């Protein structure tokens, strides 16, 4: 029996096409932000800062997505509260260090270094930075709000 090379080539081309389509869609899914899927605030429950006056770790049983970030909650109640009014509970400046944003930078924050000021949650990099933040807090908040408009959609490495 003589092999049908044309038919074999067609099958190989179809397999290659299917593989490339699958691969492209798989890579597209990886580029949609899921490669940066670490929870916002290191997995701490943003509602806990307001309701228990201390940071509590959330867990994977209760999660919600807001502004492209995944938030974890310590309870179903906290998740529902967040979903009802995420702006009330989400940290300012996407959870980046508030002092860093005041200086035009995006630094990751430590969710255990925090303050609620005028019903807004602010996080800082560490205790030393928080001391600087506390010294002139009102002006730092104003400067951070101004800077955030320019840097919100920039990657930290661009700053």
Walk along the chain (159 residues) and give the pLDDT tens digit of each residue. 555 555 555 544 444 444 444 444 343 344 334 345 689 999 999 999 999 989 999 998 999 999 989 999 999 999 999 999 999 999 999 999 999 999 999 999 999 999 999 999 999 999 999 999 999 999 999 999 999 999 999 999 999
pLDDT at 7: 56
Domain ranges, residue 80: 38-88
Q: Is 45 a domain residue?
A: yes
Give the model's pLDDT for residue 34.
38
* pLDDT value of residue 22: 43
Tell whether 138 and 83 lie within a shared domain: no
- For residues 148 and 103, membership in a common domain is answered with yes
How many angstroms separate the CA atoms of 58 and 45, rounded?
5
Q: Which of 66, 88, 110 is the last residue of a domain?
A: 88
d(CA 121, CA 115): 6
3-state SS track over 27-40: HHHHCCCHHHCCCH
Whether pTM exceeds 0.85: no
Q: Are residues 84 and 102 in the same domain?
A: no
Report pLDDT for 38. 83
Residue 31 lies in a domain: no
Query: What confidence score (pLDDT) does residue 125 get?
Result: 97
Asked if residue 22 is part of any domain, the answer here is: no
CA distances to 85, 108, 147, 152 from 47, in Å? 10, 20, 26, 23
Quote the number of domains for the chain: 2
């Amino acid at each position: 029996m003589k092999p049908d090379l044309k038919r074999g080539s067609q099958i190989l081309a179809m397999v290659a096409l299917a593989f490339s389509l699958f691969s492209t869609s798989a890579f597209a899914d990886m580029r949609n932000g899921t490669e940066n899927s670490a929870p916002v605030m290191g997995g701490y429950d943003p509602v806990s800062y307001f309701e228990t006056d201390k940071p509590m770790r959330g867990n994977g049983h209760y999660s919600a997505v807001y502004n492209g970030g995944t938030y974890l909650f310590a309870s179903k109640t906290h998740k529902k509260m967040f979903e009802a009014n995420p702006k009330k509970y989400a940290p300012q400046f996407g959870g980046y260090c508030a002092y860093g944003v005041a200086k035009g930078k995006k630094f990751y924050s430590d969710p255990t270094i925090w303050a609620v000021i005028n019903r807004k949650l602010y996080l800082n990099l560490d205790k030393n930075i928080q001391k600087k933040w506390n010294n002139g807090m009102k002006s730092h908040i104003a400067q951070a709000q101004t800077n955030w408009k320019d840097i919100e959609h920039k990657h930290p490495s661009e700053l």
